[in-house]
Amino acid sequence: MNEQEIEKLKNDPEFQANLKALEEEIQKSPSIAKYYQLLDVYLALQEDEGKINELFQKILDASFDAISNKLANKEKFDLSNPDELGAARGMYEYAIERFSQNDLKGAQEIFLALSHAIDDFEVSNAMMVHAAAISKGYTFDDFFNKLAKIDDIDFSNPKAVFVTEFAQPVDILLEMMNDEVEKLKERLAKLK
């Protein structure tokens, strides 16, 4: 979106009314899916960084609560539910941020928790690839330059918010990192 389009939206009364209605709806009944909808608008409008960070913090807080509840109740995220998808996405984005900042232990723990807490075979296995890659010694840059396949992402697919495509098929990667995967599975078994 260019500067003119952004200014046009900022001055469009109908758009502003819809934005205000969304903000009020979130105040009355918080929803991670709605938080993300509002975040997308804020990002498109290039809102103040503080406002964006505050909203993302709300997403993270709600996501941490959601994953804690899922793990405590031995339940899994249903990615067809927009709020559960949003919670898993929030945790994933936080794990990616931790990984990019070289907090390998923190990132790995979240990827491992997600692999256990997501009721979608493809995404769950992809999270295990993320966790095992950290155990194998991949840096953030190596992971995205050598393992992850992020070209041709189909953004019409809600699961596109997760990296699930790799240079090799997931089953081959998991086999190649079998030692790391087995150790991670042992850690998961202790949590059950």
CA atoms of 117 and 67, how far apart (whole Å): 7
| pLDDT tens per residue across all 192 residues of the chain | 678 888 888 888 898 898 899 999 998 988 999 999 999 899 988 889 999 999 999 999 999 999 999 989 999 999 999 999 999 999 999 999 999 999 999 999 999 999 999 999 999 999 999 999 999 999 999 999 999 998 877 878 889 999 999 999 999 999 999 999 999 999 888 766
Q: Which residues contact 69 (CB under 8 A, 6 or more apart)?
A: 75
In terms of residue numbers, what domain contains 95? 3-191
Q: Phi and psi dihedrals of 102, rounded to 5?
A: 65, 25
This prediction's pTM: 0.90
- Structural contact between residues 162 and 89, judged by C-beta atoms closer than 8 angstroms: yes
Number of domains in the chain: 1
